[in-house]
């Protein structure tokens, strides 16, 4: 019977040590990423590390609460030998964190109770909780529940908005028009759709793509009339009215000499 219990204890300790080592490696990896990769580390990566650690803690709890695992709180660890000299085997087992198993280290590593300061603090809090009246305790519980409910509502709303935003990202939103792009390229490259405004001096109009406008009254027609080509007249007729009022004089008034 005793040998069976020892085998169960040995097997349980091996399983617990293995899971504790995995948990330790995950925590060390996470700390390393936070300290060295904080500039490139993303929130999903941090959540993945938290999820891994949470899963390992759950696995460790299942092993310790299994029926075949002995109740560890009923067991006592006793030092067999204390020495102030360096112990290489102990250093290798503890990854060089503990090199000697001396009298001053045993109370800390084999402690079965809290530290004196922590134990005094816990006793103080327990005494304060016992001396608290029932009505005041219920008021504090109600206030805490309201705060937790409010925070839960905020987190739930933010989660819903996040899910809606994530689902809408799958549908590519159109932020450009192909037809407008073709019109713009045709206007810049070939002058399509540009309208030419009148210029009485016959100089290139900066708003008409640098095209020359023929002076009125000098193309053989009657004074005051323009003999522009039909395409140019059509473009001039289709020109939108300008917001600036101008006074254009006829060609007879501009020419000081007669024909």
Among 11-25, 69-83, 215-229, the range scoring the smallest mean pLDDT is 215-229
Q: Are 184 and 201 in contact (CB under 8 A)?
A: no
Nearest to 194 by CA among 202, 204, 184: 184
Please report whether residue 68 resides in a domain: yes
Confidence of residue 217 (pLDDT cuts 50, 70, 90): very low
Please report whether residue 31 resides in a domain: yes
> What integer pLDDT is reported at residue 18 of this predicted model?
92
Please report whether residue 188 resides in a domain: no
pLDDT in tens, 74-131: 888 888 888 888 888 888 888 888 888 888 888 888 887 778 888 999 999 999 888 8
Q: How far from the centroid of its chain's Cα atoms is residue 208's Cα? A: 50
Distance, in Å, from the CA atom of 105 to the CA atom of 90, rounded to the nearest integer, reads: 13
Burial string for 20-36 (b: 16+ CB within 10 Å, else e) reads eebbeebeeebeeeeee
Please report whether residue 243 resides in a domain: no
Domains in the chain: how many in total?
Answer: 1
Q: Is the pLDDT of residue 4 over 70?
A: yes
172 forms beta bridges with: none
pLDDT in tens, 139-192: 989 999 999 999 999 999 998 888 888 777 655 556 778 888 888 888 888 888
* DSSP character at residue 197: P
Please report whether residue 33 resides in a domain: yes
> What integer pLDDT is reported at residue 209 of this predicted model?
44
C-alpha radius of gyration, the chain, whole number:
45
Cα distances from 255 to residues 30, 225, 248, in angstroms, run 89, 14, 14
Please report whether residue 57 resides in a domain: yes
Between the two ends of the chain, the Cα-to-Cα distance in Å is 137
Helices (H) and strands (E) in the chain, counts: 9, 0
Please report whether residue 49 resides in a domain: yes
Residue 54 lies in domain? 1-75
- pTM summary value: 0.43
Whichever domain contains 42, its CATH number is: 1.20.58.1710
3-class DSSP string for 233-249: HHHHHCCCCCCCCCCCC
Please report whether residue 28 resides in a domain: yes
Residue corresponding to tokens 């739930």: 156
> What integer pLDDT is reported at residue 65 of this predicted model?
87
């Amino acid at each position: 019977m005793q040998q069976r219990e020892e085998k169960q204890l040995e097997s349980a300790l091996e399983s617990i040590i293995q899971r504790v080592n995995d948990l330790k490696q995950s925590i060390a990896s996470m700390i390393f990423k936070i300290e060295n990769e904080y500039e490139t580390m993303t929130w999903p990566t941090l959540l993945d590390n938290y999820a891994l650690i949470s899963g390992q803690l759950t696995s460790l709890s299942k092993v310790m609460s299994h029926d075949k695992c002995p109740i560890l709180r009923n067991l006592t660890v006793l030092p067999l030998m204390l020495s102030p000299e360096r112990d290489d085997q102990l250093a290798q087992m503890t990854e060089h964190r503990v090199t000697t198993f001396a009298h001053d280290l045993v109370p800390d590593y084999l402690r079965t109770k809290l530290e004196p300061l922590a134990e005094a603090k816990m006793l103080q809090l327990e005494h304060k909780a016992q001396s608290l009246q029932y009505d005041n305790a219920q008021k504090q519980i109600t206030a805490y529940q309201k705060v937790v409910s409010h925070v839960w509502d905020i987190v739930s709303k933010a989660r819903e908005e996040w899910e809606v935003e994530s689902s809408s990202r799958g549908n590519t939103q159109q932020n450009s028009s192909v037809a407008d792009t073709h019109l713009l390229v045709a206007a810049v490259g070939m002058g399509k759709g540009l309208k030419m405004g009148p210029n009485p001096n016959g100089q290139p109009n900066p708003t008409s793509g640098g095209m020359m406008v023929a002076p009125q009254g000098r193309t053989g027609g009657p004074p005051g009339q323009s003999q522009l080509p039909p395409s140019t007249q059509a473009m001039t007729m289709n020109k939108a009215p300008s917001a600036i009022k101008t006074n254009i004089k006829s060609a007879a008034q501009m020419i000081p000499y007669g024909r």
